[in-house]
Amino acid sequence: MQLVFATNNLNKLKEVQSMLPEHIKLLSLKDIACDEDIPETQPTIEGNAIQKAEYLKKHYGYDCFADDTGLEVDALNGEPGVFSARYAGTQRNPDDNTNKLLTELKDKPNRNAQFKTVIALHLNGKLHSFTGICKGTITTEKYGEGGFGYDPVFKANGCDKTFAEITLEEKNKIGHRGLAVKKLVEFLK
């Protein structure tokens, strides 16, 4: 089975492909010659995932899935949330986003946060969604060289290292995207 994953983020593509059974081959947006920016104009993470999947199905005709992920920080009233990728501006720079987050939390004692991923699957003319949530805390500085995005400052509850300090396999077991992908895989079986 082939499914288009509505992403050009090679890190995300690799992470998700590593969790799927061998008989499911992922195609990226580049693989289907989609070089346009797919709209993400919804006010929620769920809405953006659905919007991307529906856009891809309508304009390209492929069975596909799209995800949207946000980091929701308690002390910031759920921010950056739906704006996680562009928290520090439209340049979408992960270091700028992480630095802004650390600055915003500088004097805040409550550092509780959660990563939330919603996957919207468009398959055989029907739309399905799967949610994964990983609760944790934001560290006071960056740790680790792995991962991407906010991984160097996020520690999952029960884990003594940031997502950037653990292996991809460890992250997939406890992380938000891994939890959502597991639900997707169970559905596809």
Active site (catalytic) residues: 68
Q: Is 168 exposed, middle or buried (0-12, 13-18, 19+ CB in 10 A)?
A: middle
End-to-end, the C-alpha distance of the chain in Å comes to 11
Distance from CA of residue 149 to its chain's centroid?
9
- The reply, when asked if residue 149 is annotated as ligand binding, is yes
- The reply, when asked if residue 148 is annotated as ligand binding, is yes
- The reply, when asked if residue 74 is annotated as ligand binding, is no
- The reply, when asked if residue 67 is annotated as ligand binding, is no
Token pair recorded at residue 26: 């992922």
- The reply, when asked if residue 182 is annotated as ligand binding, is no
Q: Interior CA angle at 12 toward 11 and 16, to 5°?
A: 120
- The reply, when asked if residue 151 is annotated as ligand binding, is yes
Q: Give the annotated binding-site residues for Mg(2+).
A: 68
Q: Give the annotated binding-site residues.
A: 7-12, 68-69, 148-151, 171, 176-177
Q: Give the annotated binding-site residues for substrate.
A: 7-12, 69, 148-151, 171, 176-177
